[in-house]
Amino acid sequence: MPVTLTCELLTKSPDLGYRALHSKLQQEGFNVALNKVQKFLTQCRSEPGESCKDLRETEETTKAASKSPSLECVDIPGKGIGVLAKQEIPAGTLVMLEKPVLQTRDENRIEFLMNELSDDVKAEVMKLHNDFSDEPTTIGIFHTNSMACPSAGNSDFDAPRGLFLNMSRFNHSCSPNAMQSWIADRGEMQLRAVRSISKGEEICICYIDPSSAWEQRQQDFKENFGFLCRCPVCSAPSGSEERISSDRNRAQMQSLREKLATTQDPAHCLRIIDQLLVVYTKEGLVMPIVTAQLAGHAFNMAAAAGRPGDAKSYAQLAAESYEVIFGKDHQKTREFKQLANRARNLR
């Protein structure tokens, strides 16, 4: 429940009914159940003090996230603050769960929302990095560190963005070992390991599509984030076999994805998907969300081609990949496990 926005709407229109409030929240991009809005509004008007409960919970969740025994925030040369693993973290492990301290799709409301925060949280926000020094400080910090919080069916571009005190500390890598995802019904961002992370290894996420070649990635970083990437992939010397090979692999990824987008023949689609999976593996680029989406598409193509054995294998791969990203109880994980079980009945 977006408490701060709800309180702002009720301050402007104290007599707002729960259906009208629900409609306004949907217009802002928040997919909240009608009964939750009704319950919150009833509580807010009968026990005004309780309306701040979720805000307190947000701060408590944020503080708890920063105390994880498996993580350590340290200064990393050339990067500023980063996060290290204090112990080995297996693939699929939930590394962090955090509520945003501030969430909006309208930058004109950032200052208002900042003033809603406690002094302690404001002070922590102001410690975050700012790549946009030509903008007001709070807006620059928000642009630098905010993450998309999409509802079901919404793209990251259209979604509200949230500011997270702890998630903001994870640096970028063009070969990430962790991935964040928004849990819309809980209003929390989760971070999971996408591969095994060694003790002392920096935990990194991906800020951009990493399948571009080195030159394009550096241009994206300079234009959108104000820095040049120095991750292990990007640190390979110019002209080295490592750099050339990586650029070749990532160019092939883009080329194959473009072909896949325009191919309708099931058998041809499956060949392209298999090639893509091989190239990602060859490059050492572990992206379970990409694998899950490709495997899900391949399941549909194999089913259409009357290949139940292949359909089952792809459904199992999709389920395994979604479990790494979202956990075993997520809808997508359960859906593809069920499809794998039913695939043998396909004709």
Q: What is the pLDDT of residues 195-236, one digit of tens each?
A: 999 999 999 999 888 988 999 999 998 888 777 898 999 999
- pLDDT score, position 186: 85
Q: What is the predicted pLDDT for the residue at 56?
A: 46
Q: Which has the higher per-residue pLDDT, 110 or 343?
A: 110
Q: To the nearest 10°, report the CA torsion of 44, 49, 54, 59.
A: 160
pLDDT of res. 347: 55
Please count the other Cβ atoms lying within 10 Å of the Cβ belonging to residue 130. 18
Work out the average pLDDT over 4-26: 73
- pTM here is 0.76
Q: How many CB atoms lie within 10 A of CB 81?
A: 15
b/e map 238-269, b = 16+ CB within 10 Å: eeeeebeebbebbebbeebbeebeebeebeeb
User: 196 near 88, Cβ under 8 Å?
Assistant: yes
Task: Tell me the per-residue pLDDT of 244-290, one tens digit each, with 9 for 90 and over.
Answer: 999 999 999 999 999 999 999 999 999 999 999 999 999 999 999 99
Average pLDDT over residues 28-46: 69
What CA–CA distance (Å, rounded) separates 7 from 112?
12
The per-residue pLDDT of the chain, averaged, comes to 85
Residues 6+ apart with CB under 8 A from 313: none
pLDDT at 61: 47
194 φ/ψ sector (left φ>0, alpha ψ -120 to 50, else beta): alpha
Percent of the chain with pLDDT over 70: 86
pLDDT-based confidence at 346, cuts 50/70/90?
low
Task: Give mean pLDDT, residues 293-308.
Answer: 95
pLDDT of residue 4: 56
Residue 294 above 60 pLDDT? yes
Query: What is the reported pLDDT for 30?
Result: 64
Question: Is 53's pLDDT higher than 50?
Answer: no
pLDDT over 90 percentage in the chain: 57
Which of 103-107, 162-166, 342-346 has the least mean pLDDT?
342-346
The least confident of 39-48, 61-70, 168-177, 299-308 is 61-70
- The pLDDT score that the predictor gives to residue 43 is 67
Q: What is the pLDDT of residue 131?
A: 81
